Structure 1
């Protein structure tokens, strides 16, 4: 059984009810490739609204959560709260959480472990900065970030990895299909050797970094790219074309 293509749309801190209704409309109109799993990452305040409006063939993800079920953590949400409103996914470790909010590998790994324990599916993000890439540290960085998660979990069946080169997010720069494939292949090999061959072969690895309708087909044709985590383009009708990249 091959790995099912999975496309995530990360809305980030964007949208109001009017814009979200427009996004829901083009997702409902589609048509969306039935062989592709689709998940949209929604600002926390709109999670319940979006889940109630979207058809069930589109998954909904929180964009973050904390590492414990409840407590005195003002402004945070827990996996239990996310589950309580029938949302089944969460995006963790996004480069903006790492870069802007200074979340460590360790904290992200703890969040991933708790989210999985609570029954959520996780899109776990990894990726290097431009400085790290230019210093030839890409593999060192993504292996370190992945190892932090591997040290905290045993069951990878509900994890999708999103490789997002930080230098290609919102910059208009995209890794070439060959560059992206090379990192995905190295990452899969690392997981085969350091976790298990079964996990390495079955784990779905998305590419995230200025994916558009124009470049998605070429990226999606790479053997180790199993989908995308899409930022700005997920707010636009072209997201449907990205979902359908493998048609």
Structure 2
């Protein structure tokens, strides 16, 4: 819940930086609030930056005042939508079943579903991380999920906005588990091709150590995405290491 009209200047600045110094090793997507989607589409038209949304309702239309359907998001210019973000699960009590339904809605509208999973600090401290993630994957990822229409994002809830992050070995263990469970659910071919993002206090200072952990295919960036320079520096990690 960040971003007013003035924030579009940061989006424009990011576009200019990527136009001047592209990072072909990485795909960039911005997911602004729904109020800015259409205007963000206009700012990004013709650029390499993809546009996504932050949430959707499972149904295409109806008497659901205040909700936004996946079809509405696509109409506004989105190509993807985040579903099951930890803040939706916690603040709004969203269940795995609801996240599953929202992912299906994304497919129905031709959007990529970015399905979020993650454990709380209490679950982490109790050593339940892998069990929680397995359960969330089994309940949230539809049978129709494919690498072409689905991204999975792991976000340890206890790391979001706290400055804390799991160690690279912990991230590797979790992402390996996610890849394995996806293989069981969807088959090894789809699981092997599916992007698994790490999210949780990713910033320029720690991007290199987190983004090149095995089975990490990118980042779901929170606060650092609000500033063009910070977001670009995270993207540029790929150019520096792979270039």
TM-score, structure 2 as length reference? 0.92
Aligned to 2:170: 179
2:148 corresponding residue in structure 1: 157
Q: Could you tell me which residue of structure 2 aligns to residue 47 of structure 1? A: 37
Contact kept, 8 Å, 1:105 with 1:148, in 2: the verdict is yes
CA offset at residue 37 of structure 1? 1.0
Mark the runs of 5 or more structure 1 residues left unpaired by the alignment: 1-12
Match of residue 8, structure 2, among 20, 38, 45: 20
Equivalent in the alignment of 1:242: 234
Larger strand share, 1 or 2: 1
Give the whole-Å Cα distance in 2 for the aligned partners of 1:154 and 1:183: 20
- Report the CA distance between 1:15 and its aligned residue: 1.6
| Cα drift, residue 103 of structure 1 | 0.6
C-alpha deviation, 1:155, in angstroms:
3.5
Partner of residue 88 from structure 1, selected from 79, 83, 102: 79
* Cα separation, 1, equivalents of 2:143 and 2:101: 7
- Give me the whole-angstrom Cα distance separating, in 2, the residues matched to 1:168 and 1:186: 19
d(CA) in 2 for partners of 1:87, 1:141: 30
C-alpha displacement of 1:221: 1.5
Extract structure 1 runs of 4+ deviating beyond 4 A. Answer: none
Q: Structure 2: where are the runs of 5+ without partners?
A: none
Task: After superposing the two structures, state which structure 1 stretch, 190-199 or 147-156, moved more.
Answer: 147-156
In terms of mean alpha carbon deviation, does 158-167 or 77-86 score higher? 77-86
Note the C-alpha offset of 1:79: 1.1
Distance 1:213 1:144 in 2: 32
**Which residue does the alignment assign to 2:70?**
79
Q: For 1:109-120, what aligned pairs fall within 5 Å after superposition? A: 109-120=100-111
Q: Alignment length, in residue pairs?
A: 235
Name which structure has the greater RCO, CA cutoff 8 Å, separation 6+: 1
Q: Evaluate the alpha carbon distance shift between residue 90 and residue 151 of structure 1 in structure 2; reply closer, same or farther with a 3 A threshold.
A: closer
TM-score, normalization: structure 1? 0.91
CA distance in 2, matches of 1:139, 1:72: 38
Work out which of the residue numbers 172, 182, 205 in structure 2 matches 1:191: 182
Counterpart-to-counterpart distance in 1, 2:123 and 2:153: 18
Q: CA RMSD in A?
A: 1.4
The equivalent residue for 1:67 is 58
The C-alpha deviation readout for 1:192-244, integer Å capped at 9, x for no partner, is: 23321112211110000000101101111112100000000011211101112
Q: 1 CA distance for matches of 2:22 and 2:172?
A: 25
Q: Is the 8 A contact 2:54 2:82 kept in 1?
A: yes
Alignment-derived partner of residue 202 in structure 1? 193
Structure with the bigger percentage of helix:
2
